[in-house]
Amino acid sequence: MSFEISEDHEQFRRVVRDFAEKTIAPHAAQWDRDHHFPVDVVHQMGDLGLFGLTAPEELGGADGDFTSLCVAIEEIGRVDQSMGITLEAAVGLGINPIQTFGTPEQQQTWLPDLVAGRTLAGFGLTEPGAGSDAGATRTRAELRDGEWVVNGAKQFITNSGSEITSVVTVTARTGERPDGRPELSAIMLPSGTPGFTAEKAYDKLGWHASDTHPLSFSDARVPEDHLLGERGRGYAQFLATLDDGRVAIAALAVGCLQACLDMSVQYAGERTTFGVPIGRKQGLAFQVADLEVMLAASRQLTYRAAWMRDAMAGRAGGGSTPSMQDFKQAAAVAKLYATEAAVTGTRIATQVFGGYGFMEEYPVTRFYRDAKVLEIGEGTSEVQRMLIARGLGLPVE
């Protein structure tokens, strides 16, 4: 089995890196300070084709592989985690469910603008009382006279309230199963739907330049054909979406680690104490070496999982086709290790910078704040450990 990054991927990486360094990096700190979501840059990312990497050509996409998306997320995240998560969520949570489960009519209605980066879409699963326990969902959707009437609330929803957000898909109770469990379905609510409100954006610890809102629904009505996928399969659909999302979040963590290593190596070579660069001090040099080890391991785990995803879709060779369970396990392993490594890596990088690492004028501070949520979003570290243990055959509850 081979999951080496191809020369085509490396050429693509150079293109995205050049864009990120010239267009995003010079402004990332200011966007972070101002909590500014740069819509113009989202459009430029669309012009570069980043939102359409995995979409079919007939919808304006590149019909490319999943590994390319991970490369793009890594490179954008290397200079700005906020823009990295904007791309990750736009594709993984916005485009992917519509592309995978939508009817041809739904795809033609929503995907061309989403793929081109002209608009964004969100996906609402988490609620005030239902995070990892999605079965505790309280949002309801009742079918009345050919319309879904949605009532409830969602929280922590990315790309859900920007000026270019076109639609948000939400999971809601649409009935009850024979065993008494809730029937969960996915309903698409266009922005501007009466009764659908994107509340004031959150004041977050990190990801200041990304768009994140709580959502509320008060008799929000949409036509019956706004059901996404099969009725009662909303939760299963979202779980399938999360498998890809976990690998993409791992790629975002790899970008974070690369940034930490780059900054630490440069600073350790320039900063002097007692007449010599601090990089000559063994205690500090060993910490930077640990960063390299965490980065290398995280990158290998992430692109191994991405290769599996592509191999299952017939887009990668080099060995036997992995099973879905193999991919799920690899995705959970990559997400768990890479995100926890990113949190540790930002702490190490901040320590390398000493007192300057505590000052907002240095990018390492921003990466430190941004990293923590990587262990939480798209499945917490605890959930990943549970999934990995189950994959090993352990009867974990």
Work out the number of other CB atoms within 10 angstroms of the CB of residue 273: 11
Consecutive H or E run containing 222: strand 212-223
Tokens 């999934």, located at residue: 387
Q: Which whole-number Å values give the CA distances from 33 to 37, 111, 164, 369, in the listed order? A: 11, 32, 22, 12
Which ranges of the chain would DSSP assign to H, the alpha helix? 7-19, 25-34, 39-47, 66-79, 81-89, 96-101, 104-115, 234-270, 282-312, 324-353, 363-371, 381-391
Quick one: three-class SS letters along 126-193?
Answer: CECCECCCHHHCCCEEEEECCEEEEEEEEEEEECCCCCCEEEEEEEEEEEECCCCCEEEEEEEEECCC
378 part of the active site = yes
Catalytic one among 58, 75, 378, 397? 378
Which neighbouring-strand residues pair with 148?
143, 222
Round to whole Å and give the CA distance between 241 and 233: 12
User: What amino acid positions are annotated as catalytic residues?
Assistant: 378
